[in-house]
A and B are shown apart, each in its own frame.
Chain A
Amino acid sequence: MVKIVKDVVCPFCGCLCDDLEIMVEDGHIVGTRNACRIGHAKFMHFEGAVRYTEPLIREDKKEDFKKTDYDTAIEEAARLLVDSKLPLLYGFSSISCEAQREGILLGEDIGAIVDNTATV
């Protein structure tokens, strides 16, 4: 059974088109309506990209990644940020405002530079 989710806001570009219809079958997205090509690709995961579903870690950038759990990855990330003299938090443009708020407050906690893609 294909279920249609109506009035979906497109999370691709700054236009935020809000008239998308997304077809869902067995918990998977099978099609879109009213989306442009890039919006469609975001929902369908067409990019040919590799998606990570587990955190990865490595000491040396020349080594291969090792799989790890969220707790270890976040703990190590926190340690790197706390030990840093001047950390930089960059990006933030493809996440929700709620998440942006947490990220900015995190930056304040550690005395970081906080910047997004509008800087480019």
Chain B
Amino acid sequence: MGRYSVFARGFFRERGRRDRTVVVVDPRETTTTKLADLHLQIEPNKDYELISALRAVLNGHELNGDRIAGIPVDTIYEVVETCKKAQFGELFFGMGVTMSRGKHRIIDNAINLIIDLNAYTKFGLMPMRGHYNVNGFNQVLSWLTGYPYAVDFSRGYPRYNPGETSTIDLLVRGEVDVMMNIAADPGAHFPQKAIEHIAKIPVISVEPHQTPTTELSNIVIPTAFTGVEVSGVAYRMDGVPLELKKVVEPPEGVLPDEEVFKIMRKKIEEML
């Protein structure tokens, strides 16, 4: 919290938290809403509606009704004014936006809101990342194939069509016949229908811990912790690459992920 979030004292924000305004959109009360200047307690699945209302106000229209998406219209006017007056604003969004009703269309609307706001001030938007190197993978894959995720190499060249070539859809439709899971835990986070297919097919886990996914696996290949036992590069969620440090030695004989893939590629080359 001290390094990058609202408390950090920066060159332009000497007083840290007091020089910043935090607006939180969340249907629930959370620790984050408690430290916010303004909490928009939105009704679930009304994200698109709220963004549209903000854009309407921003573009000089008047809102009809007392509440929109569960939020008093006066608050919506206030948020728009706050955003317009900001020197530099940023919209951070998470899976509540990408996965609630409307999905990627909500992001589409949010991008347009940011475009509208840039008529007044500098404003950006950024997805919040869970694991430390989600962005790194999107960067490396884009650099190698031109697409950020969900790439299908089955025709010998990269294809990208989320919904068709994305993991959960492929699992739910039962199209893949082997899964190699690398340092993630779909067994704990995926929808039931996807997990049912994972249970049916051979699964390889490249993973240091016992997880619900390793319980569904046929082969578990443990690896060393990057950033603790191995060094390497990771991309911060704003796209800045940083070198992770090796702090201690891995347990004896445990290989890094990179080494495992290198050996596997050599073996595959011999088999093909």
Which A residues fall within an 8 A CB radius of B?
Answer: 5, 7-19, 22, 24, 27-29, 34, 36, 42-43, 47, 49-59, 61, 65, 70-71, 73-120
Cross-chain contact B183 with A65 (CB below 8 angstroms): no
Most buried by B among A24, A83, A93, A107: A93
User: What chain A residues lie within 8 Å of B145 (beta carbons)?
Assistant: 104
User: What chain B residues lie within 8 Å of A53 (beta carbons)?
Assistant: 222, 251-254
Cα distance, A49 to B234, chains bound together (Å): 24
Number of interface residues of B (CB under 8 A): 111
Cross-chain contact A75 with B267 (CB below 8 angstroms): yes
Instruction: Say if the beta carbon of B119 comes within 8 Å of chain A.
Output: no
Chain A min CB distance to B125 (Å): 15
Given known pairs A59-B218, A79-B271, A102-B258, the reply for A10 and B167 (CB within 8 Å) is: no
Given known pairs A90-B167, A113-B151, the reply for A103 and B182 (CB within 8 Å) is: yes
User: What chain A residues lie within 8 Å of B184 (beta carbons)?
Assistant: 90-94, 116-117
Most buried by B among A22, A28, A49, A95: A95
* Top 10 closest pairs, chain A to chain B, by CB: A96-B232, A14-B129, A11-B227, A91-B184, A93-B131, A14-B237, A91-B182, A102-B261, A99-B257, A84-B178
Cross-chain contact B153 with A108 (CB below 8 angstroms): yes
User: What chain A residues lie within 8 Å of B78 (beta carbons)?
Assistant: none
Cross-chain contact A106 with B268 (CB below 8 angstroms): yes
User: What chain A residues lie within 8 Å of B132 (beta carbons)?
Assistant: 10-14, 16, 93-94
| Additional 20 contacts, C-beta under 8 A, given A14-B237, A18-B3 | A27-B248, A52-B210, A57-B220, A61-B216, A78-B267, A80-B202, A80-B218, A87-B178, A93-B131, A93-B183, A93-B184, A95-B133, A96-B136, A96-B230, A100-B136, A102-B265, A108-B144, A109-B272, A115-B165, A117-B184
Contact of B130 among A54, A70, A90, A117 (CB under 8 A): A117
Chain B min CB distance to A38 (Å): 11
Contact of A113 among B176, B225, B249, B258 (CB under 8 A): B176
8 A Cβ contacts from B240-260 to A: 241-245, 247-249, 251-258, 260
Cross-chain contact B247 with A22 (CB below 8 angstroms): yes
Most buried by A among B144, B180, B223, B263: B180
Cross-chain contact A81 with B247 (CB below 8 angstroms): no
Cross-chain contact A9 with B221 (CB below 8 angstroms): no
Chain A min CB distance to B197 (Å): 10
User: What chain A residues lie within 8 Å of B177 (beta carbons)?
Assistant: 84-87
User: What chain A residues lie within 8 Å of B158 (beta carbons)?
Assistant: 108
Cross-chain contact A97 with B235 (CB below 8 angstroms): yes
User: What chain A residues lie within 8 Å of B247 (beta carbons)?
Assistant: 5, 8, 22, 24, 29, 43
**Interface SS majority for chain A:** mixed
Residue of A nearest to B190 (CB): A120
Cα distance, A12 to B269, chains bound together (Å): 34
Instruction: Say if the beta carbon of B82 comes within 8 Å of chain A.
Output: no
Cross-chain contact A15 with B3 (CB below 8 angstroms): yes
Cross-chain contact B134 with A119 (CB below 8 angstroms): no
User: What chain A residues lie within 8 Å of B268 (beta carbons)?
Assistant: 78, 81-82, 106, 109-110
Residue of A nearest to B134 (CB): A93
Cross-chain contact B202 with A74 (CB below 8 angstroms): no
Contact of A77 among B5, B219, B269 (CB under 8 A): B219
Contact of B228 among A18, A42, A109 (CB under 8 A): A42
